[in-house]
Structure 1
Amino acid sequence: MKLNILFFSLIFFISCEQKVDYYIGENSRFASNQLSDAIKNKQQFNSLKPLITDEETAVKVAEPILFKIYGQEKIKEERPYEINKVNNYWIINGTMENSELGTLKFGGTFNIIIDSNNGEVIQVTHGK
C-alpha cells in the first residue's frame, strides 16, 4: 500500500513538473505555440487598425525608443517635434531653433518613421 502511494505520488509530481515547464519559462512550449498561432493567424486578430491614431500616441511610442538610442536630454532639446502622417505612417522629426532668427530649422536632428497600423519602426536616424 505504501509503495502504491509512493508510486502515484511520484507520477503526480512528474506530471505536474512537466505542466509547469509547458507554461512557464523562457523556452515555454505554451508561449512558443502562442507565437506560432499568432503568426499564422496574423490578419484574423489584428482588429485594432490603425493602432496609432493621433500625434500624442505617436510621440509616446517614439520617445522611449529615441531616448534609449540617443539619450533623453538630447531628444528633448529637439522639441518641438515636427509630426506628420503620410498614408499610414507617422514621420516625426526633431527641430532646432535658430536663436539668431528665432526660427525652427531641420538638420542634426532625429527622424523616426512608425507604421500607424502596427507600431513597427520603419526607420530611425539622426543627422549631424
Structure 2
Amino acid sequence: MKKLQLLLFLLLVSINWHCQSKHTNLGEEYARKFLADVQQGKGSLLSQVIPIVRDKETAIAIAEAVLFKIYGKDQIIKQRPYEVYQIENHWVLFGMLPEDTKGGVFEIAIDAQDGRIVGLIHGK
C-alpha cells in the first residue's frame, strides 16, 4: 500500500513539474509590440466581428468591477437589483434604491463591441 502511495505521489509530482515546465512568458517587449500592432490596426480584432459583451451577466460583471473600485462594493450592492437594458450596441445599467430612500444611484453605459465604459455618473 505504501509503495502504491509513493508511486502515486511521484507521478503527481512528475505531472506537476511537466506542466509547469511548459509555460513560457512572452515578456514585456512582446506586450509592447502587441499593443503597438493593435493601435495601428494590425491583426484581427474579434470585437469587430462578435460583440465582447454579449449578455446581461457580462455587462453587470464589467459594471461592478469598475463601480466597486470607484464607489465601494457595499455602496453598489445596496443598489441591487439593477436596471439593465441593451440598446443598440450598448448596455445601459442603473442602480436602484428602495422606496423612501434618499440618495442617488449609478448610471453606466458600456460599449457591447469592446467593453469600454462610455458613460458613468453617480447621482447624489
Q: Normalising by structure 2, what TM-score?
A: 0.70
Residues 1-128 of structure 1: matches in 2 within 5 Å? 24-25=27-28, 28=29, 30-41=30-41, 44-48=43-47, 49-99=50-100, 108-128=104-124
Aligned residues: 97
Q: Deviations over 1:65-113 (max 9, x none)?
A: 00000000010000110000111000000011115xxxxx9x6000110
Greater strand share, structure number: 1
How many percent identity over aligned positions? 36
CA RMSD of aligned residues (A): 2.1
Q: Deviations over 1:3-50 (max 9, x none)?
A: xxxxxxxxxxxxxxxxxxxx645xx3x3222111112225x5122421
Equivalent residue of 1:113, what SS? strand
Q: Using the TM superposition, give the Cα deviation of residue 124 of structure 1 relative to its aligned residue in structure 2, in angstroms.
A: 1.3
* Gap runs ≥5 in structure 1: 1-22, 100-104
Q: Normalising by structure 1, what TM-score?
A: 0.68
Runs ≥4 residues deviating over 6 A: none
Equivalent residue of 1:95, what SS? coil
Distance in 2 of aligned mates of 1:93 and 1:114: 12
Equivalent residue of 1:45, what SS? coil
Going from structure 1 to structure 2, the CA distance change for 1:45 and 1:68 (only over 3 Å counts) comes to same
Select the structure of larger CA radius of gyration: 1
